[in-house]
Amino acid sequence: MPSDQKSNRRLSAILFADIVGYTAMMQSDEGSTMNRLRHYQTILKKEVADHNGEIIKNYGDGSLCLFNSVLDAVHCARALQITFQKEPKVPLRIGLHSGDVMFEEGDIYGNDINIASRIESSGIAGSILMSKNIYDKVKNQSDLSFQTLGTYNFKNVEEPISVWALANQGLNVPKGTTSIHKLKSVADAAFSKWFIAFVILMGFYLIYSYEGPNDPIKKSANTTAISDIPTKSIAVLPLVNMSGQSNLEYVCDGMTNAIISKLTNISDFDKVVPRTSAFKYKNLNKSIPEIALELGVSNILQGSFQKAGQQIKIDLQLIDGNSDKQLWSHEYSGTWEPNDIFSIQSTITETVAGLMNSEITESEFASLQKMPTKNTEAYDLFLKAEYQRNISDSTSFSIAIPLYEKALELDSSFVEAYLGLSEIWDTGGLVWGIYDQNNAWTISKNNLKKAYKIDSTLFSMDHELFGGSFYYDWNFDYTENVFLKRTKENNFNYEDRVYEDYTIKTGRYSKALELSEQLIKNNENYGLAHFSKAEALFYLGQTDQAIKILKESDPKFSDSQFYLRESTKYYFYLKEYDKFESQLDRMMQNFSHRAPIHLWFNVIRYQLNGDIENVNLYLDKIRSKYESNSSGSPAWFMALYYFYINDQDNGFLWLQRSFDRHEVEMTWLRSEPLLQAYKEDSRYRDIYQKMKWPM
C-alpha cells in the first residue's frame, strides 16, 4: 500500500499481471505450480522495485502494480516477460493503462483500474497489451516496438478503448484466432445493434409465417444443429506464427497438418475436420462458437507456434465449441530436432484424445510413435514442399518438386515425401494439365510404389492406384474389380470423391448419390461432396434439386478452384446460364491457371452470347494446346464444342484424336451429356468398344 495515505488519489501507470491457465496448472501439478508462483512473486518484487514501482496487491495468480512513470511501467513489463520466457517459465499476460486511482480504507478503486484489468485479461501468455494513454507516452522510444490491435468496447467501460501490443522480439502479439476475441470491436458493436433489431423483426416474421407442426423451420444447408454435433469431434485451427518471422509460416502450417493427420488416424474420434476445411479459418476473425457450429464439431484446438534458432514452443488450448470455455491449455517446448518434433506431435495427439475420452488402439499407438524421418534438414525441406503443394498451382508445384527430391536425397526412406511428390504429379497431370499426363502418372505411380515398399501400413495401394488406373491407364478390369470388392465390403474412402466419380462415369447414378451423401456425412465442409450430390441428382433427372444444392453451396465453397470448376460446368448443363457466367467470372479472376477446360468454358460463354470472334479466339487457344501436346485433354474439349453446335463430323474427328492421345477426359465417354444424342452413331460405338468399358 502506498505510503502517502493522506492523499487518496493518484495519477499512476497501472500494471495488471496474471498467470494464464493457473487453475489448470494447479489441478495438473500442484507442487510444480506453487514453485512457479513463488518464482513469479520473487521476480515481480525485484523488477517492480528496480523500475521504481509498487506492488499494491497480489491476487494469488495475479498482481496489481503502480508506477509514477509510464516508461518505467512499460520497461518493467518487458523485463518480466523476457525473464519468464526462461525456465522455470511462467505464462504471464500483462495489461497497462494510466489514470486516476483512489485509495480508501486500505483498498484501491477506480475506473482506470478496471480498464487495465480488462486489457490484461484480453491478452495471451507472453503478451503485453496497453491502452492509447500508455502508447502515446512511449511511442517515440527507439527501443520499443508496437502493433495496433484495433479499438474495442470493454465490459463496464463506457468509451471505446484503442489497444496496442508491445511487439519487441521475444514477446507474443495476439493474432488470428488467439487474438483478443473476448472483446467486441466498435464496428462489431454497431453491427450487433443492427443485428438485434433484425433478429427481433425476423422473430415476428417467423411467428406470423409459421404454419404449424408440419412446416418446421429448416436449418442452414451449411451448418449443423448443435444437437446433431457428435461429442468426440474436433477441428484443429492453424497454429499462429508467433516467431516474428513471416518466412516460418510453412513450419506453423506443417505442425498443424501433422497434428490433424495424427488425430485423423485415431478411429475412436467421431469426426476430425480435414486440413482443407480447417485452414479456411486461417486469419479469419470469427468466434470459436461460430467456427465450431460451421464445422460441426464440439471442440476446437487452437494455439501458437514459436521458433527461435533451434528452440521451439507450442502453446495450445482446447476450447468447448458451444460455450467458448477453455477446457485445457498447455505449453510444449523443445529443440528443432526430429526426436523432439515428433515426440511433441505424438504427445499432443495422445493428450487431446485422452481429454476427449477417445481410446487409442495398440496399432494406432504404435503408428503415433513412428518417426517419419530422423533427418532435420529433410523434414524442414518437406514442410516447405508441403506448404507450396497446398497452394496448388503450376508455380508452387515447380517450387515444391525439387524440395521433395532434395528431402529424399537426404533420407530415401521418407515415405511422406514420396506421397507428396506422387500427389503433385497426379494433380498436375490429371486435373490441371500442367504436365504430360502419361509421364505424370508414371512418376506418380513410381513414387507410390516406393512409399508402399517402405511402409505398406500407411495407405491402401488399391485405393491410391484406383484413380490413376481408371483415368490414365483405362485399366477397367482392375478398377471394376476393386470397386466391386469395396462395394461388397462397404469399404470406401469417404475423404475424396474418386469412387463417386467412377460411379457417375460408369452409369451407376443411384450409387453415386449414396456415396456423395456418405461424403457429406463424413465431412460436410468438403465442397466437392455437395457438388457430387448435385451431380448425381442431375443424372437422376432431379434437376431442380441439383440446382438448389449448388446455389446453397456456392457461397461457402466457391473459393475452392475445384468446386468452382465443377459447379461452372454443371450450371451450363443445367442451363443456368447466368450462374454459369458468374462462376466463370469468379474463376477467371481468382485463379491464374488456364487449362483446356477453362478455355472451353470461355468458348461456351461467347457461343451463348453470339460472339463468334471470341469463340474462334478461344478455340485457337485450345487447338494450340493440342498441337503443343499439352495435357488437360484439349482434343476432348474441342470435340465437346463441335457436338454442342451439332457439327458431328468435326465432333467425331476431335473425339478420335482424344482417344488416340489417351486423354483423361475420355473417361467421360459413357456419361457426357453432350454425347448422349450420338450414342447410336457407329463412330461413337466404335470408340466405345475400343476403350473396353467394363459395362
Residue 392 resides in a domain: no
pLDDT tens-digit profile of 210-268? 333 333 323 333 444 555 688 889 999 999 988 878 788 998 999 999 999 899 888 88
Is a pLDDT exceeding 50 seen at residue 5?
Answer: no
Query: Which amino acid is residue 137, in one-letter code?
Result: K
Query: Span 549-559, mean pLDDT?
Result: 88
The span from the CA of 372 to the CA of 379, in Å, is 8
State the CATH number of the domain containing residue 315: 3.40.50.11830
Residue 128 resides in a domain: yes
Rounded to 5°, the CA angle 151-153-159 comes to: 90
Q: 232 and 155 in one domain? A: no
pLDDT tens-digit profile of 344-353? 898 899 889 8
Residue 141 resides in a domain: yes
| Structure-block grid coordinates of residue 102 | 483512489
472 confidence band (pLDDT: 50, 70, 90):
confident
- The single residue listed with the C-alpha cell 502419361 is 438
What pLDDT does residue 695 have? 60
As to burial, measured by CB atoms within 10 angstroms (0-12 exposed, 13-18 middle, 19+ buried), residue 366 is exposed
Is a pLDDT exceeding 90 seen at residue 104?
Answer: no
460 confidence band (pLDDT: 50, 70, 90):
low
Q: Are 74 and 130 in contact (CB under 8 A)?
A: yes
| Structure-block grid coordinates of residue 499 | 469412387
- pTM for the model stands at 0.57
The span from the CA of 54 to the CA of 45, in Å, is 8
What pLDDT does residue 485 have? 84
Domain end (from 157, 182, 207): 182
Is a pLDDT exceeding 90 seen at residue 121?
Answer: no
Q: 490 and 366 in one domain? A: no
What mean pLDDT value characterizes the chain?
A: 84
Is a pLDDT exceeding 80 seen at residue 495?
Answer: no
Q: How many domains does the chain have?
A: 3
Residue 212 resides in a domain: no
Sign of CA dihedral 333, 365, 450, 471: negative
What pLDDT does residue 523 have? 75
Residue 245 resides in a domain: yes
Q: 566 and 478 in one domain? A: yes
Nearest to 139 by CA among 185, 78, 70, 93: 70
Q: 648 and 548 in one domain? A: yes
Q: How far is CA 589 from CA 371, 583, 594, 596, in A?
A: 42, 10, 11, 17
Query: Span 80-89, mean pLDDT?
Result: 91
Q: 550 and 686 in one domain? A: yes
Query: Span 552-573, mean pLDDT?
Result: 90
Residue 522 resides in a domain: yes
Q: 464 and 327 in one domain? A: no
pLDDT tens-digit profile of 610-629? 999 999 999 999 999 999 88
| Structure-block grid coordinates of residue 664 | 483423361
Which of the two residues, 180 and 608, has the higher pLDDT score? Answer: 608
| Structure-block grid coordinates of residue 364 | 494406432
Residue 641 resides in a domain: yes
Query: Span 381-392, mean pLDDT?
Result: 90
175 confidence band (pLDDT: 50, 70, 90):
low
545 Cβ partners below 8 Å, 6+ apart? 534, 537
Query: Span 660-668, mean pLDDT?
Result: 94
- The single residue listed with the C-alpha cell 528452440 is 311
**Centroid of chain to Cα 449:** 29
State the CATH number of the domain containing residue 450: 1.25.40.10
Could you give the percent of the chain with pLDDT greater than 90? 44
Q: 353 and 454 in one domain? A: no
The span from the CA of 310 to the CA of 299, in Å, is 31
Is a pLDDT exceeding 80 seen at residue 10?
Answer: yes
What pLDDT does residue 493 have? 62
Which of the two residues, 76 and 631, has the higher pLDDT score? Answer: 76
State the CATH number of the domain containing residue 174: 3.30.70.1230
What is the β-pairing status of strands 9-19 and 311-320? Answer: unpaired
As to burial, measured by CB atoms within 10 angstroms (0-12 exposed, 13-18 middle, 19+ buried), residue 309 is exposed
What pLDDT does residue 23 have? 67
Is a pLDDT exceeding 90 seen at residue 531?
Answer: yes
Domain span at 452: 445-691
Q: 337 and 478 in one domain? A: no
Q: What is the 3-state secondary structure (H, E, C) of 188-204?
A: HHHHHHHHHHHHHHHHH
Domain end (from 147, 182, 217): 182
What pLDDT does residue 178 have? 39
Q: 231 and 108 in one domain? A: no
36 Cβ partners below 8 Å, 6+ apart? 19, 25, 88, 89, 90
Q: 258 and 125 in one domain? A: no
What pLDDT does residue 134 have? 93
Residue 199 resides in a domain: no
Q: 147 and 263 in one domain? A: no
Q: 230 and 110 in one domain? A: no
Domain end (from 356, 371, 386): 371
